[in-house]
Amino acid sequence: MSLASAAAMPIEMRARWFAIAVVLVAAVALPFVTSGYQTFQLSQVVVYAVALLGLNLLTGVNGQISLGHGAFFAIGGYAAAILIVKLHVPYAFAIPIAGVVCFVAGFLFGLPALRLGGLYLALATFALAMATPQLLKFKAFDAYTGGVQGLLLTKPQAPLGLPLTRDQWLYLLCLAFAAPLFWAASNLVHSRIGRALIAIRDHPIAAETMGVDAALYKTTTFGVSAAYTGVAGALMSLIVGFVSPDSFGLFLSLSFVVGIVVGGLASIPGVVVGAVFIEFIPNIADSIADVFGESAKAMPWAIYGLLLILIMYAAPSGAAGAGRKLVAAVARLRRA
């Protein structure tokens, strides 16, 4: 490494920390300038970002394809709702507990998943996604799940009489959970464990012969990934104030896949782009539907599908990849 590039390094790192600080400050400040509904939407973006982070850890970083992460979103949401509504647990505790429940569920699903290579795992998780709404409506669990109706939650107020609206408080709550989760995920990916996960994704047999305990890593990753998405599901149940079986169908899982593809597989910052995408595209499509008629409601998914194929064809690393190329191009121009 030349002297020039060594001196340049700390500047890039400092720039990075600065950027993160700016983003955080902006994020915290946002709810005070946006309307109630917009704040609600932003909360959903934060929640989706955490959910996508979970899926990205499993599929992007570790290469295990899941088309069924909506199931863990559902388990998290229902676990939190049941804890809060039926067992009267304070919501601040219900959320992490829901995360732990999902970790266990994910770990358990990860055990048989060890036997399944890419395509077959995709099949099995596809089946999981389709079966989830029916399982949630299963009569035997009605007492806990509220059956077809689902469960209603009261949206919490800001504590200690702080001068915040409910929407603002919920947004900050989501941010409070999201920030450390992002930090942890970023550390994980850049650590030795992260490299092992990537090695398992790209060269599974070589990784094993190098002493990586692939089975343990893979099942644990499944658990962690499910926990992240479960926490997101729990937060979502608080934000919208209810859980019901039909909101957790196949297309929820597929929109998660769209999110990580658009944002960039294995990219941590990319999940924010993905979350913004899956939150706002349906809205835009709705406005277009107002102009072009009811059937245009089908449009978001037509757009999603087209984008999935185009991105896989032209830019397999999604927005993050495009961003990296842009940064590299700018750097080249500066040096020239």
Q: How far is the CB of 317 from another protein (least distance, A)?
A: 11
Write the interaction track for another protein spanning residues 55-74; mark x where CB under 8 A is met and - where it is not: ----x---x-x-x-------
Please work out, in degrees rounded to the nearest 5, the angle formed at the alpha carbon of residue 71 by the alpha carbons of 306 and 56. Answer: 55
198 binds another protein (CB under 8 A): no
Q: Which is nearer to another protein, 44 or 64 (CB)?
A: 64
**One residue of 3, 294, 333, 334 binding another protein per CB under 8 A:** 294
* 211 is a contact residue toward another protein (CB under 8 A): no
Q: Nearer to another protein by C-beta: 195 or 208? A: 208
Candidates 5-13, 28-36, 129-137, 220-228; binding stretch for another protein (CB under 8 A): 129-137
Tell me the closest approach of the beta carbon of residue 65 to another protein, in angstroms.
6
Q: Which one of residues 299, 315, 322, 323 is an interface residue with another protein (CB under 8 A)? A: 299
- Is 119 near another protein (CB under 8 A)? yes
Which of 23, 29, 210, 302 binds another protein (CB under 8 A)? It is 302
Of the candidate residues 108, 198, 308, 322, the single one contacting another protein (CB under 8 A): 308
Q: Which is nearer to another protein, 238 or 271 (CB)?
A: 271
Residue 15 in the binding site for another protein (CB under 8 A): no
User: Which one, 58 or 239, has the nearer CB to another protein?
Assistant: 58
Burial of 214 (0-12, 13-18, 19+ CB in 10 A): middle
**DSSP collapsed to 3 states, the chain:** CCHHHHHHHHHHHHHHHHHHHHHHHHHHHHHHCCCHHHHHHHHHHHHHHHHHHHHHHHHHHCCCCCCCCHHHHHHHHHHHHHHHHHCCCCHHHHHHHHHHHHHHHHHHHHHHHCCCCHHHHHHHHHHHHHHHHHHHCCHHHHHHHCCCCCEECCCCCCHHHCCCCHHHHHHHHHHHHHHHHHHHHHHHHHCHHHHHHHHHHHCHHHHHHCCCCHHHHHHHHHHHHHHHHHHHHHHHHHHHCEECHHHHCHHHHHHHHHHHHHHCCCCCCHHHHHHHHHHHHHHHHHHHHHHHCHHHHHHHHHHHHHHHHHHHHHCCCHHHHHHHHHHHHHHHHHHC
Cβ proximity to another protein: between 143 and 176 the closer is: 143
Under the criterion CB under 8 A, does residue 291 sit at the interface with another protein? no
In the block, tokens 């804890």 appear at 83
CB 136 within 8 A of CB 245: yes
Query: Which C-beta is closer to another protein: that of 2 or that of 295?
Result: 295
Q: Does 298 bind another protein (CB under 8 A)?
A: yes
Q: Of 78-86, 92-100, 154-162, 251-259, which part binds another protein (CB under 8 A)? A: 251-259
> In whole angstroms, how close is the CB of 163 to another protein at the nearest point?
44
Query: Is 205 a residue that touches another protein (CB under 8 A)?
Result: yes
Range 143-164 burial, b when 16+ CB lie within 10 A, else e = eebbbeebbebeeeeeeeeeeb
Using rule CB under 8 A, residue 143 touches another protein: no
Q: Which is nearer to another protein, 182 or 304 (CB)?
A: 304
The footprint of another protein (CB under 8 A) covers: 59, 63, 65, 67, 112, 115-120, 122-124, 126-128, 130-131, 134-135, 137-139, 205, 250-251, 254, 257, 261, 265, 294-302, 304-309, 312-313, 316
